[in-house]
Amino acid sequence: MLKQKVSERFQARRVQLMKQDTQACFIFFGAQEIIRNFDSQYPFRQNSTFHYLTDFDEPNAALVLVNGESHLFVEERDEAQEIWNGERYGIERAKVVFNVEYSYSIKSFYEKLPSLIKGADRIFYQLNDSSRLDSLARDQKVLRVVNGNHSSRGKGSIGNLPVLDPAPHVAELRVVKDSVEIDLIRKACSVSARAHAHIQKITKAGMLESELATELQYFMQKNGLQEWGYTPIVAGGANATTLHYVRNNELLKDGDLVLIDAGSENELYTADITQTFPVGKRFSENQKKIYQKVLEVNQEITKLAKPGVSYRFLHSEASVMITESLKSLGVPLPEKDSYRKYFPHGVGHYLGLDVHDAGIYQEHGKDYLLKPGMLLTNEPGLYFRGNETSYQGIGVRIEDDLLITEKGCENLTRELPREVHEIESNRN
């Protein structure tokens, strides 16, 4: 269904962005439809920054922000196309619904661009955007306009306009969430956590990993959330030691653990949750030892996450704790960094519209400090791939989503049981 009028928050964000550099022109492209195979497309998902600045959710759009005004380029209405793909906003309606000063056909984008960038001292545009299939061709077209602008400025001009990455400016805005965003994420986290708790109860040996993913998605969809926020991982046994295992096509065996990393999106804001539990009724002694160590780190990070500390501090505390845990488990650690073999990823990341969300970790060589309204995952793990220990084939990750508050943090995924005795009582 088409929207009648989007919230003014989106316009306010564009204004805020332009205020960060009033001499600049910002250029953003929305996402395109991607072909899966002949005549069939992947479901369309808008580019996160484009959504953040517009709430416009059709493919092939562009946005130019300059001189305090927003210029939105959209697909024109087209009756023949709409029979296949549904009604579009079109040019006139887009202007009203999305609160922009100007709207145009996307076909006129490269014709209009020279006049829009004319007075700007610099351009913010993401070159070489790895999320796009057509980034090189697109870059070439944009740069041709930007560099053409230089020759049109005449001999007094001092060279081509600089083209800079808008990511730092955008990250500065996106990393701190407003109350509406927090409510959206809160629901994504609550539904996803309850979906995981449901799976903890219904899993049985002999089920396929993919069945668990389907059950999770069914629960999420019944609770109003349609899409995954990222490709889910359901990894039985040693599959859990492959960090991005997404094949999800093996049978679950009694005696193994299963690691599930999955979260749902709510209006494009995602949860990011991992749980690990036994396929049978109980953890084995070794599984329980590893699980307890990871849970202790997870719980300690929840205590430490608060305004004024940096992500790097949290990661370094987690690494120290993991190292101590590995030593107490008798794992050989010849070098200072040997723990990385068993804990090869970060203890977390920002969370929001993207599962690995926009945000600054370091600025001018200094750590960026957490502030209220930021969201961070808390995901320590231990993975034993090699045969040098008796823990071979065990992979455990425990991942929660933390909202930084005035005094500390709130665990938005706390509805998922984490203690060994709680999990085991769910496995009966």
| Catalytic residue flag (residue 196) | no
399 a catalytic residue: yes
Under 8 Å CB-to-CB from 281, ≥6 apart: which residues? Answer: 424, 427, 428
Taking CB under 6 A as the criterion, the residue among 230, 269, 339, 350 binding ligand GLY is 230
Q: Residue 402 gets which letter from DSSP?
A: E
Alpha carbons 29 and 25: distance in angstroms, whole number: 13
The pairing of beta strand 366-367 with beta strand 362-363: antiparallel
DSSP bridge pairs for 26: 65, 124
Q: Is residue 377 part of the contact set for Mn ion (CB under 5 A)? A: yes
Q: Which of 57, 261, 267, 354 binds ligand GLY (CB under 6 A)?
A: 261
Sequence-separated (6 or more) residues with CB below 8 Å from residue 342: 322, 326, 331, 382, 383, 384
Name the one range near Mn ion by CB under 5 A: 155-163, 168-176, 275-283, 394-402: 394-402
Q: 169 or 349: whose CB is closer to ligand GLY?
A: 349
Q: Total number of residues binding ligand GLY (CB under 6 A)?
A: 7
Listed residue (86, 70, 104) closest to 33, CA to CA: 86
Active site residue 345: yes
Whether 82 is catalytic = no
Least spacing, CB of residue 81 vs Mn ion, in Å: 37
For ligand GLY, the nearest residue by Cβ is: 261
CA dist 201 and 140 (Å) reads: 54
What, of Mn ion, ligand GLY, none, does residue 230 touch, CB below 5 to 8 Å by kind?
Answer: ligand GLY
* Subset of residues 199 to 228 that bind ligand GLY, contact rule: CB under 6 A: none
Q: Please, what is the minimum distance in Å from the beta carbon of residue 232 to ligand GLY?
A: 8
Q: Is 272 in the site for ligand GLY (CB under 6 A)?
A: yes
Report if residue 383 touches ligand GLY, rule: CB under 6 A: no
329-356 b/e (C-beta count within 10 Å ≥ 16 → b): bebeeeeeeebebbbeebbbbbbbbbbe
CB-based burial, 138-157: b 16+ in 10 Å, e otherwise = bbeebbebbeebeeeeeeee
DSSP H helical ranges for 154-247: 167-174, 179-202, 209-222
| Phi, psi (rounded to 5 degrees) for 402 | -110, 130
The yes or no reply on residue 58 touching Mn ion (CB under 5 A) is no
Known catalytic residue: 349?
yes
C-beta neighbour count of 158 within 10 angstroms: 7
Among 261, 354, 357, 401, binds Mn ion (CB under 5 A): 261
Whether residue 198 lies in the annotated active site: no
Q: Is 406 a catalytic residue?
A: no
- Verify whether residue 75 is a known catalytic residue: no
- Give least dist CB 351 to ligand GLY, A: 9
Work out how close the CB of 150 gets to ligand GLY at its nearest, in angstroms, rounded to a whole number.
42
Cite the beta strand spans of 352-423 per DSSP E: 362-363, 366-367, 375-378, 381-383, 395-397, 400-404, 409-411
Under rule CB under 5 A, residue 192 binds Mn ion:
no
CA 262, distance to chain mean position in Å, is 12
| Residue in 57, 261, 265, 401 annotated catalytic | 261
Is position 265 an interface residue for Mn ion (rule: CB under 5 A)? no
Residue nearer to ligand GLY on the CB measure, 211 or 261: 261
Q: Is 379 in the site for ligand GLY (CB under 6 A)?
A: yes
139 in active site: no
| Contact mark string toward ligand GLY, 318..357, x via CB under 6 A | -------------------------------x-----x--
C-alpha to C-alpha distance for 389 and 327, rounded to whole angstroms: 12
- For Mn ion (CB under 5 A), the number of binding residues is 6
> What amino acid positions are annotated as catalytic residues?
39, 244, 261, 272, 345, 349, 356, 379, 383, 397, 399
> In the complex, which residues of this chain contact ligand GLY (CB under 6 A)?
230, 261, 272, 349, 355, 379, 399
